[in-house]
Amino acid sequence: MTQSLLFVTGTRADFGKLEPLAIAARDAGFAVSFFVTGMHMLERYGMTKLEVQRMAGVPVHEFLNQRPGDPQDMILAKTVIGFSDFVTEHRPDLIITHGDRVEALACTLVAATNYIRSGHVEGGEVSGTIDEIFRHCNSKLASAHFVSSQAAARRVMALGEPAEAVHVIGSPELDFHSRPSGVTIEAVRARYGIGFTDYGICVFHPVTSEQATMGAQAESLYAALEASGRNFVLIAPNNDPGSDAIFAVINKLPKDRFRLIPSMRFAHFSELMKNAACMVGNSSAGVREAPFLGIPSLDIGTRQHNRSEAASIRYADAADRAAIAAFLAEDWGKTHARDEGFGSGSAAERFVAVLKDQAFWARGLQKEFQDLG
């Protein structure tokens, strides 16, 4: 019997990581479907559920789990209820979640309480604030782990997870970046109305534990970018508490030099990154994809603290305008050697190899804490 895999996606970012795995699993003969919720369903963020629907041969179930302004605990509760109803009807053989978002936590919890096998992608990483707590909770709830590095594998095992359940596959989004995007930068600029050729990318998300200061941080960061005289493509922040304060600052920036885009198709974003002079902000793309592509990046604030050791990354607080100005003056347009700290672009191949091993499906779901000592 063909095993059924249900992927859970709540944001444009986690879909970019799950899509290569889903395509490879589909092509290997598994029955693949998606549960789509979270930011994907919100018009403000580009209704990115449409990106998931474009996958051929992959059924999609949509669930609206939030209204603007809902707190994270309410989103968690709504998602648990909706996903529980769904899996009671469909009962997949494997549920696959990603990372540190509240939707992933809700769905991994439902999988555990219903004794359904689950795989967590990119556990064992350091992501700061409540996100890191969610990520480690997902690791404890999941029955299998598809991690991006040996360091991440060690952290998952430090949580008491058995070594045979931890599989180092690398970061799946690097599979996309390691090959041609399939589009030209001219096509990207035309599609998204980007009126300049020399540009940086800025992605600045709210930090949930710093909600009260996000407006001030955004004011300082974007003032430094504006003072540089450079052009920037801005990708909209995610919908965590504090995003409204960031949008309020972005909306005052000069539109001839700052192009705000709610979301992008992943191939187009990949091509945009490959042609960027630098990346600024607190997105994981700045500490993972940018070093892989050899692009200089400036990591702002605490959100990605200690996540990467790549030589192409510099660090600054949002209020440190001098450090931001120095980076833009000194690093703009530089190129670096490819950093493979998060993999080499073969995550999907490794993922499918694990699923094809009958030992993966034979492992029991009753967990016992494994002491490292």
pLDDT for 373: 58
How far is the C-alpha of 299 from the C-alpha of 204, rounded, in Å? 10
**298 forms bridges with which residues in the sheet?**
280, 314
Q: How high does pLDDT run on average in the chain? A: 94
User: Is 373 domain-assigned?
Assistant: no
Does residue 159 share a domain with residue 270?
A: no
Does residue 288 share a domain with residue 203?
A: yes
Ramachandran region, residue 193 (left: φ > 0; alpha: ψ -120 to 50; beta: rest): left
How far is the C-alpha of 91 from the C-alpha of 78, rounded, in Å? 19
pLDDT for 362: 96
Does residue 274 share a domain with residue 233?
A: yes
pLDDT for 127: 73
Does residue 241 share a domain with residue 132?
A: no
Q: Is the pLDDT of residue 351 over 80?
A: yes
More confident position, 231 or 50: 231
Q: Is the pLDDT of residue 103 over 70?
A: yes
pLDDT tens sequence across 266-322 = 899 999 999 999 999 999 899 999 999 999 999 999 888 777 889 999 999 999 999
User: Is 115 domain-assigned?
Assistant: yes
Does residue 38 share a domain with residue 90?
A: yes
Q: Is the pLDDT of residue 7 over 90?
A: yes
CB 102 within 8 A of CB 72: yes
Does residue 100 share a domain with residue 202?
A: no
C-alpha torsion sign, points 191, 10, 221, 324: negative
Does residue 234 share a domain with residue 162?
A: no
Does residue 193 share a domain with residue 167?
A: no
How far is the C-alpha of 115 from the C-alpha of 179, rounded, in Å? 38
pLDDT tens sequence across 133-142 = 999 999 999 9
Q: Is the pLDDT of residue 230 over 90?
A: yes
Q: What angle do CA 315, 317, 319 make, to 5 degrees?
A: 145
Does residue 238 share a domain with residue 137?
A: no
**What is the residue range of 320's domain?**
185-330
Does residue 149 share a domain with residue 203?
A: no
C-alpha torsion sign, points 139, 145, 146, 150: positive
* Distance between first and last Cα of the chain: 40
